[in-house]
A = this chain, B = another copy of it.
Amino acid sequence: MARTTLSTPLPLARVAAIVQGELTGDPSALVFGISEPETAQEGDLVFAWTKKAAELAFCSPAVALVTTRKFARPEKPCILVNDAKLALALFLEALFKPAPITPRISPTAVIGEKVRLGEGVFVGDYAVIGDGTEIGDGTVIHPHVCIGRNVRIGTNCCIYPHAVIYDGAVIGNRVSIHAGAVIGKEGFGFVWDGKQYRRIPQIGTVVIEDDVEIGALTCIDRATFGETHIGKGTKIDNLVQIAHNCVVGTHCALAGQVGLAGSVQLGNGVLLGGQVGIADHVRVGDGVALLAKSGLMDNAPPNTQWAGYPARPRMQWLRTEAALSDLPDALKLLRQLAQRVTELERALKEREEKQK
């Protein structure tokens, strides 16, 4: 099912121009759709950035491939690029322009006092914007978004339906916040006072830098004091939990359902797989990668890879997991060995006694 028909067929020469690639084969051959290799039909174009995908595509009815030089073969026309995934992005950008949004402030939007809206802002139906909030040029506030007081949102952001931004959050330019995300809620800070948990007021804020993307139903809590901070260009998937006082570096990628406990610090370019958890106050160096579902309980030096729970260096984890598979048999062997050693000890002793 991973296939889409183009609204008008395109000659390969045109595709090559769009993706800035080098065409081998008939430039007038027509592309009717794009597809993953498994579902490719006649006339489909396949973007293949793995060897396996390229091989499958060559055996499919696809008309042509966009791929790298090393996976290309003479059987089908190829458009050679450095990065077939990037080529896919270029192709989709060129062909599938999102419908433009005409700036408009819905009459049903509730806009507080001293709110400053930039040029070309769109505010959808029933959106609520609190007193003193500023919204930059070209930003789109979808219906039903709730924005608190004294929030600052930059230019060309897109805030999707039902997102909630609490008072005082600071959001950069070109930030996307998807449906239902909750930004700047007070952190989960309590102290036991002898009788009950008492809330520690959370007087800090959240700062989100430019070009960040925040997935649907993701929570980023504000700091106890100071700020929770998300660095420029970082991409966060759905249902992620980022607790108070976390500091996330630039250009990180956090997959779905990741959870960061309080005061976690991620360096730049950190990659977290789905459902990863990181314990409070843990520091993660630049370029660290954590495999999906791992749970990190200690600091991770830069450019290391981790897996498992508690997380181990990736190679060690692989060895440990392989060893685990052997464990039941190893325990059997161990018990047999213990018996054989006892037997040997007995035999040797017997012999010694005989020789006396």
List, in ascending order, chain B residues with CB within 8 A of A160's CB.
164, 185
A83 to B199, CA, bound (A): 14
Interface membership of A263, Cβ < 8 A:
yes
A249 to B225, CA, bound (A): 31
A86 touches B198 (CB 8 A): yes
B235 touches A190 (CB 8 A): yes
Partner of A257 from the list B235, B257, B279 (CB cut-off 8 Å) is: B257
Classify chain A: how many residues form its interface, as a range. Answer: 35 or more
* Nearest B residue (CB) for A131: B99
Interface membership of A233, Cβ < 8 A:
yes
A346 to B252, CA, bound (A): 58
A162 touches B188 (CB 8 A): no
List, in ascending order, chain B residues with CB within 8 A of A83's CB.
191
Interface membership of A143, Cβ < 8 A:
yes
Interface membership of A285, Cβ < 8 A:
no
B-contact 0/1 string along A197-217, CB 8 Å cutoff: 111110110000001010111
Minimal beta-carbon separation of A86 from chain B (angstroms): 5
* Nearest B residue (CB) for A96: B203
List, in ascending order, chain B residues with CB within 8 A of A217's CB.
180, 182, 217, 219, 239
Complex interface: stretch among A13-21, A23-31, A33-41, A113-121? A33-41
Interface membership of A255, Cβ < 8 A:
yes
A2 touches B225 (CB 8 A): yes
List, in ascending order, chain B residues with CB within 8 A of A224's CB.
2, 88, 92
List, in ascending order, chain B residues with CB within 8 A of A322's CB.
328
Interface membership of A128, Cβ < 8 A:
yes
Interface membership of A59, Cβ < 8 A:
no
Complex interface: stretch among A61-69, A72-80, A331-339? A331-339
List, in ascending order, chain B residues with CB within 8 A of A239's CB.
217, 219, 239, 241, 259
